């Protein structure tokens, strides 16, 4: 674990201006793993920092640590529970140790697009999920969007058989492991910060991620190409520890919640644009993007869909039905 000063130096060198907190201000450290720019989460976190530090000046002060400069996602929730960091926004695939309710978001081809994900989260069942970890001390405040996942490897992926026998990095999710096993591939859980190196050295052959992550982490540089599968969703939950949140003065808590809600609405509405820009930036940088025909895409659907059966008890048939109705 880095000291705050060392992390601050790294964050600064990575282009993120750390806030200067004044004595007496509540310091709110927000640790995340993606790049700060050209990325849905990075942009939203920076905007949140700016607004908190302007509008709550003298009361609270937010310091955002992007790029895994403070914690990897497998450490951040524990750090949050210990009070070393106050805000985190891991992907929904990273709450496996705390709850199984988010498994629905990892199921392949469950949601057609991020609009369907958004609508599901806005439903009563979706909103209740934010409180699914309260007894473990973790409270979800807002869902933040990223986008749909694409597949890449060190060889062209056109049909599911192309993935057979390959090693794919996955986030630490049982659903994602099962998804690659369904393809006859071998899933390897790994921290986000280690993926580029693992692809480069051949520790893994491929990975799945959104355009902004493929671009932001430069995965396309060390892959044969990226296949536009849109096979799954990658979304986030902004979380705090219940102890810390409940300990804030009501006025402070309300103001923070209001700013966060406004930032969420503004940036969630802009993710399609950030996603499209990242896709284009990959092409501009010489990355290969492979599009599938309807028939080819259907082969991936057929290969991956059996995974749903394995997790139906965790996610609930009623939730699956609700998600499917939103795709119509």
Q: Where do contacts with ligand LMR occur on this chain (CB under 6 A)?
A: 33-34, 41, 91, 146, 171, 192, 209, 213, 234
Quick check: 105 and 145 in contact, CB under 8 A?
Answer: no
Is the CB of 63 or the CB of 106 nearer to ligand LMR? 106
Is the CB of 33 or the CB of 61 nearer to ligand LMR? 33
Quick check: 278 and 38 in contact, CB under 8 A?
Answer: yes
Smallest gap from residue 242 Cβ to ligand LMR (A): 22
Is the CB of 219 or the CB of 248 nearer to ligand LMR? 219
Is the CB of 31 or the CB of 53 nearer to ligand LMR? 31
CB atoms within 10 A of CB 97: 11
Smallest gap from residue 260 Cβ to ligand LMR (A): 18
Smallest gap from residue 124 Cβ to ligand LMR (A): 26
Is the CB of 173 or the CB of 319 nearer to ligand LMR? 173
Smallest gap from residue 53 Cβ to ligand LMR (A): 23
Q: 268-296 burial string, b = 16+ CB within 10 Å, else e?
A: beebeebbeebbebbeeeebebbebeeeb
Smallest gap from residue 303 Cβ to ligand LMR (A): 21
309 Cβ contact partners less than 8 Å away, ≥ 6 residues apart: none
DSSP, res 239:
E
- Residue 306 token pair: 């059996």
DSSP, res 17:
P
Smallest gap from residue 204 Cβ to ligand LMR (A): 12
Smallest gap from residue 119 Cβ to ligand LMR (A): 21
Is the CB of 61 or the CB of 142 nearer to ligand LMR? 142
CB atoms within 10 A of CB 246: 10
- Rounded CA gap, 161 and 217, in Å? 27
- Rounded CA gap, 278 and 322, in Å? 30
Quick check: 324 and 116 in contact, CB under 8 A?
Answer: no
Q: What is the largest CA-CA distance in the chain?
A: 62
Residues in the chain: 328
6 Cβ contact partners less than 8 Å away, ≥ 6 residues apart: none
Instruction: Classify strands 138-153 and 225-241 as parallel, antiparallel or unpaired.
Output: antiparallel
Sequence-ordered strand ranges (E) for 252-297: 289-291
Is the CB of 38 or the CB of 296 nearer to ligand LMR? 38
Smallest gap from residue 91 Cβ to ligand LMR (A): 3
Is the CB of 150 or the CB of 241 nearer to ligand LMR? 150
């Amino acid at each position: 674990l880095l000291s705050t000063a060392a992390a601050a130096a790294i964050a600064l060198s990575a282009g993120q201006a750390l806030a200067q907190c004044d004595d007496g201000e509540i310091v709110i450290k927000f640790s995340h793993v993606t790049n700060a720019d050209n990325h849905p989460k990075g942009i939203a976190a920076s905007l949140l920092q700016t607004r908190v530090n302007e509008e709550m000046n003298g009361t609270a002060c937010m310091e955002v640590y992007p790029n895994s400069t403070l914690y990897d996602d497998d450490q951040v929730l524990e750090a949050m529970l210990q009070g070393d960091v106050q805000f985190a926004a891991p992907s929904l695939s990273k709450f496996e140790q705390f709850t199984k309710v988010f498994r629905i978001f990892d199921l392949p081809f469950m949601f057609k697009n991020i609009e369907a994900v958004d609508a599901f989260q806005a439903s009563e069942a979706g909103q209740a999920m934010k409180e699914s970890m309260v007894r473990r001390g973790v409270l979800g405040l807002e869902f933040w969007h990223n986008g749909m996942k694409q597949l890449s490897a060190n060889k062209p992926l056109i049909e599911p058989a192309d993935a057979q026998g390959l090693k794919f990095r996955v986030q630490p999710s049982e659903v994602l492991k099962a998804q690659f096993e369904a393809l006859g591939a071998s899933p390897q859980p790994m921290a986000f910060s280690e993926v580029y190196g693992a692809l480069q050295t051949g520790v893994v052959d491929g990975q799945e991620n959104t355009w902004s992550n493929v671009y932001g982490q430069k995965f396309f540089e060390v892959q044969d190409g990226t296949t536009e599968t849109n096979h799954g969703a990658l979304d986030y939950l902004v979380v705090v520890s219940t102890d810390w949140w409940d300990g804030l003065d009501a006025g402070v808590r309300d103001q923070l919640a209001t700013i966060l809600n406004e930032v969420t609405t503004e940036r969630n509405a802009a993710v399609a644009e950030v996603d499209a820009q990242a896709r284009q930036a990959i092409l501009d940088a010489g990355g290969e993007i492979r599009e599938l025909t309807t028939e080819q895409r259907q082969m991936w659907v057929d290969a991956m869909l059996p995974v749903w059966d394995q997790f139906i008890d965790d996610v609930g048939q009623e939730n699956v039905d609700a998600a499917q109705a939103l795709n119509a």
